Structure 1
Amino acid sequence: MIPLTHHEMLKLVAPFSRDGRRVDLATTDRQARTVVFQPVEHASVGLAGLRLTETLTLENPKADQFRLVRTLTHASGIQATLEVEGPTVEGVYRQLTKVAPAQQFMRVDGVLAALDYRVRRVARRRLQGGEIWPMRFAGGEALVAGRRLTLDARQVEGLPARLVLEKPSAGEVALPADLLAVRGRAWRPLQATDSGWKSTIKLAHREPARSDDGETKFAQTISHLVAVFSRPPEDFHARFLRRRWQVVFWRSLPVQGVLGILALVPVLYLLGAGREEPLPLWTPGIPPVLLLLVFWSWSREVPVLEIPPPPRPLDLPAWTRDTDA
């Protein structure tokens, strides 16, 4: 990669300089063709009057490839990013200025959430002419009851979004695996990690429905956690008992399917025993085809063959180890 020359730097930063932006030479990496601008403070953003720190980073790996990233940092530590990609520096900067900082924050049941978006130039067909710059939801983060919740929806269309719930500073407890899954089948059970818990959320396969679905389910996840963590753990089992049993049923579906297919094999054998005419040649292929259907039904996810335990009341005095937190 050829480093940025002084002349190239002047051309790249010209649109920004006209708006009063200044290059941060200490963090700019000319070898990597990356320009970082000095942070800008926003004293009052949106109706809530948020105080935000804005940082811009411009990447130019090729002559006709530009990626401009805006990072908005709130005092709580949560960040909202906006990534714009296009063939000209003027184009990506113009598209970035069209998205107000207030558009990247929302409040859900009193919790402030930061939203990430990606904007990419899409050339229309010749008959239509021109170009479009669709804005797609890429994820978000929020602080819920002392836990950092992050959602990454940058996966390939059709794949679920990744969700991470970090441990609180007060000390983590063993959260129930179905903490989020009781919301519905789109929410997968939690899995413990060294830093907290992880899961996935199934989103619509195609845009723009995927972005709308991602924003909605991210807000629903925050609202659900606020409602759960605002009440004692012992209430969780009573409130969601029916849904917890539904989660057990959903989680056991792969095992039920496999066991059903295995039970079909002796049935086919018995049907063929004692017959003067053999069963059709395609009959032995029924179990493998059904097994493939079981895996295909999980919509690009690998089904887990498990027998989940029945739901039990939570033996927790509080949602964190430090009850005073």
Structure 2
Amino acid sequence: MMSQEERAQLLVPIAGFVKEFEEHFKQSLQSDAPVLSHALEHLQHSSGKHVRPIIVGLCAQLCAGVTNAQTLSAALVIELLHTASLIHDDVIDWSDTRRGQPTLNALYSNHQAVLMGDYVLSTAFLELVSREHNPEMLRVVAQAGRSLSIGELMQLSLSKAHTYREEDYYEVVDRKTGALFEASARLGALSVNATDDEVEHCARLGQLMGRAFQLQDDLFDYDKARDVGKPTGHDLIEGKVSLPLLYVLSQASPTERDEMISHLRQPIGPDDIEYLLRIARERGGIDYTEAQIESILQEAIDLLRSFAPSDTRETLEQFITLLGERQR
């Protein structure tokens, strides 16, 4: 995991942009309404590393060598959309913690958390209409929001149907994590009037980064040694079967597959979790997923190298590499 000093050093090419974004993001999560002020303050302190806004800034600078007011606004919108989606996800999953901190639904109630998520989402919309944006940028944000909803509905449907296919898994990944990463990269390029080819290359780059990010995140569910702010097996308890087990299921004999599926039936207990984690490790599911991450990141780096050499391209390459090495 990067230290604050390492992160600052990596982001030197867009240091001013990152600082300005963080100030604007903090201002956006404020309200005079007493019922909201404490919750918004909690969100500020529990927010992540702002990976998606960083991608917005890096892709803008990769294409044009600069960022601008539209880049900053796009970064703010995408992070607010991401924040709202996390609040709603926690409600759907009945999650008590995220990144080791209590969720809003744990601090308040599911009903209140939904409304707080709506408030953050409305703040994103307000930012969109308050600035002069390229119409295409508005479409990208709207499409990303719709994709998130479809992805979440697909995930819920698949968990109930007990359908275990790798192609379905990747579609959910692309519609959720991938959609926001892709939108971030596309918005960065659009904000500086990049060429059509540059916009599409950035969008594909974002999608690949989103895939790698999610696959790495899913691996954390199988590793007791990593402190990632959630217990091992948490995703399995929620009925989310990710790539390590999907691979093992695809390779198993009918009898073995039936045995594994019997352990995936809700409710899943500690013995089921122990069995499934062990099977994923022993039957090559972890190795397969790590190989997939490496392949995805290599494709991203190859695509990145189609851009002219620059400090920003070098930073993005390091950033992509770190997605495969992060510890949480």
Q: Please report the TM-score for the alignment, with normalisation by the length of structure 2.
A: 0.25
Q: Whose radius of gyration is greater, 1 or 2?
A: 1
Which structure has more strand as a fraction of its residues? 1
Q: Please report the TM-score for the alignment, with normalisation by the length of structure 1.
A: 0.25
Return the structure number with greater relative CO, CA threshold 8 A, min gap 6.
2
Which structure has more helix as a fraction of its residues? 2
